[in-house]
Amino acid sequence: MVGRPQHIHAWLFCGFAALGACIYGYDGVYFNGVSSLDIFVRHFGTKTTDGQYKLSPSELSVMTSMINVGELVGSLSAAPLNDYFGRKIVFFIASTMLAIGVVLQLVTSSSRGLITGGRTIMGLGVGAFSSTSPLYIAEVAPTSIRGPLLMCWQLTISLSQILAAAITKGIESNQTTLAYRLPIGFQLLFPALVYLFIFFVPESPRWLLRAGKKDRAKAALHSIHRDDKTYDPGQDIITLQATIDKEISLAEESSWISLLTDPVERRKLVFSAGALIAQQINGIQWFYYFGTVFSKAIGLKDPFLMTVIVFLIQIVTVFLAVLFANKIPRRPLLLTTTAIMTVSIFIVGCLGIPGGEVSPTFGKVIISFVIIEITAFNFAWGPLGWTIASEMAVGRNRNKIYAIAVASFWITVWVTVFTLPYLYYSANLGPKTGFIYTGLCFVTLSYVYFCVGEVTGRTMEEIESFFANRIPVKEWKTQPRAELVEDDNSLSKETIERAEKV
């Protein structure tokens, strides 16, 4: 007989937080499709001397990329907002930014300024969500399922991408403004869902304790674990309060500058931000960006077919990654999949050595390695990059560390996508661009070797102890739990007694 699913409410609350990933995944796909529609170009392009309407590369680039500027600012702004107002208020603010940004795009039928401004404001919301949602998930999820729940962030991104592709393809034949307004307006669904359910979702117990709201923290823990009849929120309060009291006692050291001057905090920052940088520099954006170029080389006239194939592979692979999250050790998984990606990119680079247009034969081989690359990425780096970044941001500077990590992610994505057309076309490298990403793959491999340890099943307090005691990552897996508690700077008797009074 199949047992009753465990931690149902934790899954539901973390699923709510993952709504923030929907806009990020959705926008990256729908706007590429919408901006190429004739009706969109006629309304927002410039009329040329021959009577045709065109969007210049610079105009399209500005409209497309300004959301990245908003995402960068939003992710950094989320740190102080999370410190002072808590996770739920940030969710509300981010949803409001999303709604305003979408409405600004809907009300115009000719203003590139409103489209650009709307996407920038929308980016503020996406950035705030990307900094806050994984934080909330890591703080709410029971330790035993923290990894799978954090990996659902990537699964949500994948689902929203294929949803965007389907909506854009389904409406593209419409010759009215509905062809671009429907895909834009559909995004209002995501903030609407946040507004609808936010009152039923508990605040982060960790933030509540830091704010001195012990009764609400206990109620939040009870709400999260309500399907576990044996769970005692009072005991968790004792443990959390002791940890947070220690963090508060170090409040003067909790600052942006300490991330550079304190070697322990600096190491956390490198591990957290490094995960999201390493996730993006290994060439995956290149394979996504030029997948349709290679598909045309083998005779696929409809780029949408290649898009569907890629996203279906992505969803299935990420879903399998979530299922096996606690069963496959991270270091060997990341080392193996990164090695596969390195070989794939190197072979594609070699196929470009003859120069000129990609032949149908070489195109078929390249498409095969595109599929291998995307499968390897989404089984490991896709979901694990966000998971590792969140788990490494521990301690008194948690919000600041993760905000910088996410900001590093948006900068890396922008730089990667911005340089891709130049490398492929202007520098005339074509598939030989793969050699550049082969070198960057070795940076990713180095990050895994020196910075990735096994933390499955470990509490955030234990991870903090790894950093405080400067334990090498290769030894994290073998550290006994009893030893970690003893080494954790030994919480004072007074602190524990004060927590037990809760």
Q: Assess contact for 376 and 334: CB atoms under 8 A.
A: no
Q: What's the whole-number average pLDDT of the chain?
A: 83
Collect all residues with Cβ–Cβ distance below 8 Å to 374 and sequence separation of at least 6.
284, 287, 288, 310, 313, 314, 317
Cα–Cα distance, 277 to 440 (Å, whole number): 11
User: Please, which pLDDT band fits residue 501 given cuts at 50, 70 and 90?
Assistant: very low
Q: Assess contact for 41 and 54: CB atoms under 8 A.
A: yes
Instruction: For 279-326, write each residue's pLDDT tens digit.
Output: 999 888 877 766 666 666 656 666 667 777 888 888 999 999 988 888
pLDDT at 365: 82
Cα–Cα distance, 315 to 159 (Å, whole number): 7
pLDDT at 49: 77
Cα–Cα distance, 492 to 499 (Å, whole number): 11
Give the mean pLDDT of 350-356.
Answer: 75
129-133, 308-312, 346-350, 454-458: segment of lowest average pLDDT:
308-312
Give the mean pLDDT of 397-402.
Answer: 88
30-39, 109-118, 226-235, 304-313: segment of lowest average pLDDT:
226-235
Name the pTM for this structure.
0.79
- Best CA proximity match to 294, nearest among 430, 158, 440, 419: 430
Q: For residue 225, report the phi and psi dihedrals to the nearest 5 degrees.
A: -110, 25
Structure tokens at 397: 């500077």
Domains of the chain: residue spans and CATH: 1-203+227-238 (1.20.1250.20), 247-502 (1.20.1250.20)
Question: Using CB atoms within 10 A of its CB, is residue 478 exposed (0-12), middle (13-18) or buried (19+)?
Answer: exposed
Structure tokens at 307: 């898009």
pLDDT at 285: 80
pLDDT at 458: 87
Structure tokens at 209: 């304790």
Beta strand pairing call for 53-54 and 46-47: antiparallel
pLDDT at 482: 41
Structure tokens at 7: 């931690």
Instruction: For 430-460, write each residue's pLDDT tens digit.
Output: 888 889 999 999 999 999 999 999 988 888 8
